Amino acid sequence: MNGVIDISLISMITVFLMLAFPIILFIINKINIFKEFIIAILRMTIQLVVIGFLLQYLFKLNFLWLTTIWFLLMIFVADYNVIKRTKINIKGFLFINYLSIFIGVTIILGLILIVIIKPKPFWDAKYLIPLAGMLTGNSMNANSLAIERFYKTILNNKKEYYSYLSLGATIEEASHKFIVESYKASLLPTIATMTTVGIVSLPGMMTGQILGGSTPLVAIKYQIMIMIAIFTVNSISSLLILLFSRKMLISKNGIIIEK
Amino acid sequence: MSLFSFNKIYVEKNNSILFSFDQLNIYPGDKVVIIGLSGIGKTTLLKLFNGMEFPQKGEVLYKGENIFNKNLFLLRRNVIFVEQEPFLNGPTVKDFFYYIKNFSAYKNFLIDEKEIFNLLKLFSLDYISFDRKIDSLSGGEKQRLALIRAILLKPEVLLLDEPTSALDKKNTEVVINNILKSNFVNTIISVSHNLSWIKNCNVEIEIAKKTINIQKRDL
């Protein structure tokens, strides 16, 4: 592998100078989004610089315990983001969401590292951290969609749910429709991405690998693997969060618990 | 022996008492009507019968057993509740009747279409075909269809919340004849404001002053 061409610090200045284009366009068109725009650019830069240094050390040290802590922390951030995004404020939700992301990501990541890529050691931070990051990030999105849809549909269709319950349906039967609908909603974006991948644009991971010196044929193998892995993780974690949420939202007598 | 007995019931909503009472017994074959002002807890009392609501204190027995100690879902199959403005799943009338096959409680239940047609006729709905869209039905038609399905499932008890609220005088009589004066379902427990309905019930439970008054009469 030939390393990727580094960008010099001077060139990085040019990178930021590119922003002159949007700034001029905003001024001409009197579009007042400077505050959001500047915050976003600053956050992006600071976050990436920090993460760049952290990853540099994590990869170099490559301690199992350190990588594990990083992995667990990453899931916590994803978990917390789901709560923030969905605004679901139920005791214990942080825990069940953590658990469902953790289970989905760990199973598939283990499979990739131990059986498929087999780096030495299999927990090599250089492989584990980026892969775990991609899986966790996608699982976070899927879980947000799943539970957002589930709470919305079941609360908006309480009448339908209770109509089944009052005929003698079990909780599982009466809520099945809502679970299925939410599960589908959580998986659809990944399905859509898989359908168009490569046609509209090259995915970031593949672009990065090609720029990094991999041949396109190696890059697509990784891309295929990661897409299938993402889909599989999502299929596990969003189903788990739906089943856990149902347990929390509905009492054992079938009554929807409202705060 | 009583079908339902309520002992030392205390029910509250939003931390304030709705009603409380010592004893209520319902016997097989009773036609019960719950009356009282709006918001006084009639529907809550009705839902105590199938565990959709529960008392903060006291116990509800069905055939001598606390309903929360037995399989509540099985109880609800035998004590079917029909809402005032029932939800009917579609898209068609046929789908509505067949949806119950999704529930394990009806695994061995055979849907007899001839019986459905008979019931449709009895409830003056014989003009409604199986492929009619649920969305195109009026409130009164939906109300009667929900009653028909409930009867079709042959429960031991029907819990009816304002079963004639969307019906005109003629159709109210039709429903009274088929529910209160017939024996499709033996025991009926209802909430109603309709005088004709109330007159045809042998047990009248009035909720007032945070308790209940029971009146029994021969029909």
Distance from CA of B76 to the nearest CA of A (A): 5
Measuring CA to CA, how many Å separate A5 from each of A212, A213, B78?
Answer: 8, 10, 74
* Distance to chain A for B167, nearest Cα, Å: 20
Mean pLDDT of B148-157: 96
Tell me, what's the pLDDT at A219? 92
- pLDDT value, residue A259: 66
Q: Give the tens place of pLDDT for each residue, B133-144.
A: 999 999 999 999
Choose the mutation target among A157, A166, A170, A172 for the interface with B, i.e. most B CBs under 10 Å.
A166
Residue B125 has pLDDT above 90, yes or no: yes
- CA gap B202, B32 in Å, rounded: 6
B105-115 pLDDT per residue, tens: 999 999 999 99
Distance from the Cα of A184 to chain B's closest Cα (Å) equals 20
- Number of helices (H), then strands (E), belonging to chain B: the values are 7, 10
A chain contacts of residue B50, beta-carbon cutoff 8 Å = 166
Helix (H, G, I), strand (E, B) or coil at B8: strand
Q: How far is CA A121 from CA A24, A58, A113, A117, A118, in A?
A: 50, 14, 9, 11, 8
Q: Do B100 and A167 form a contact (C-beta atoms < 8 A)?
A: yes
Predicted confidence at residue A1, as pLDDT, reads: 43
Q: Which residues, at least 6 apart from A198, have a Cβ–Cβ distance to it below 8 Å?
A: A220
- Per-residue tokens: B26: 């319902």
Complex prediction ipTM: 0.93
Confidence of residue B90 (pLDDT cuts 50, 70, 90): confident
pLDDT 10s digit of each residue in chain A, 259 long? 456 788 999 999 999 999 999 999 999 999 999 999 999 999 999 999 999 999 999 999 999 999 999 999 999 999 999 999 888 888 899 999 999 999 999 999 999 999 999 999 999 999 999 999 999 999 999 999 999 999 999 999 999 999 999 999 999 999 999 999 999 999 999 999 999 888 877 888 888 888 888 899 999 999 999 999 999 999 999 999 999 999 999 999 999 998 6
Take residue B92 and report the two structure tokens written for it.
Answer: 């068609």
Q: Which helix (H) or strand (E) holds B10?
A: strand B4-13
Any CB–CB contact under 8 A between A164 and chain B?
A: yes
CA distances for A92 relative to A55, A69, B80, B179, angstroms: 31, 22, 34, 47
Q: What is the pLDDT of residues B10-22, one digit of tens each?
A: 999 989 999 999 9
pLDDT beyond 90 at B63: yes
A170 contacts B104? CB cut-off 8 A: yes
pLDDT value of residue A2: 53
Contact A253 B54 (CB under 8 A): yes
Asked whether the beta carbons of residue B87 and residue A254 sit closer than 8 angstroms, the reply is no
What is the arrangement of strands in the sheet containing B16-26, beginning at the earlier edge strand? B16-26, B4-13, B57-62, B65-66
Contacts with A167 from chain B: Cβ below 8 Å: 76-77, 80, 100, 103, 105, 153
Tell whether A256 lies on the interface with B, counting CB pairs under 8 A.
Answer: no
B127: pLDDT strictly greater than 60: yes
Please tell me the distance from the alpha carbon of residue A23 to that of residue A40, in angstroms, as a whole number.
14
Does the pLDDT at position B70 exceed 90? no
Per-residue confidence (pLDDT) for residue A5, from 0 to 100: 86
Looking at chain A, the whole-number percentage of residues with pLDDT higher than 70 is 98
